[in-house]
Amino acid sequence: GVSGPSNYHVVGVEGARNALIEAARSACESSGIGSEDCLVACAGLAGLDCSYDVKTLNEAVGNLPIAKRILVVHDSLIALYGATGGKMGVIVNGGTGS
């Protein structure tokens, strides 16, 4: 799904929650399924750089009605999986971090 920025250091926890809801709605619309049929949502978010960040976002999104289970991970993990299809591999992500 598509949404706006979700780095909670930039948009706040509520902004990250709203972006995740918007992305989930977009994904459900494009796939033709309802959120009640979605078993697991995996959200790769920028700004999850330590265990505190992961805990903060997991607590913030745990009760969202977008899937039966929500996984929150660093966005580099979904980039790696997207590039390798789940096989072993390496990605190099160079940027400003902003």
Name the token pair of 21. Answer: 């809801």
* Band of residue 11 on the pLDDT scale cut at 50, 70, 90: very high
What is the tens place of the pLDDT at every residue in 13-71?
999 999 988 998 898 888 888 877 888 888 888 889 999 999 999 888 878 888 888 88
Determine the Cα–Cα distance for residues 3 and 19; give it in Å rounded to an integer: 5
Q: 40: which strand partners?
A: 69
* Per-residue pLDDT at 90 exceeds 90: no
Please tell me whether residue 73 adopts helix, strand or coil conformation.
strand
Residue whose C-alpha is closest to residue 21's, from 73, 88, 67, 81: 67
The residue with greater pLDDT, 38 or 12, is: 12
Q: 44: which strand partners?
A: 73
Name the token pair of 50. Answer: 């330590």
**Cα first-last separation, the chain:** 21
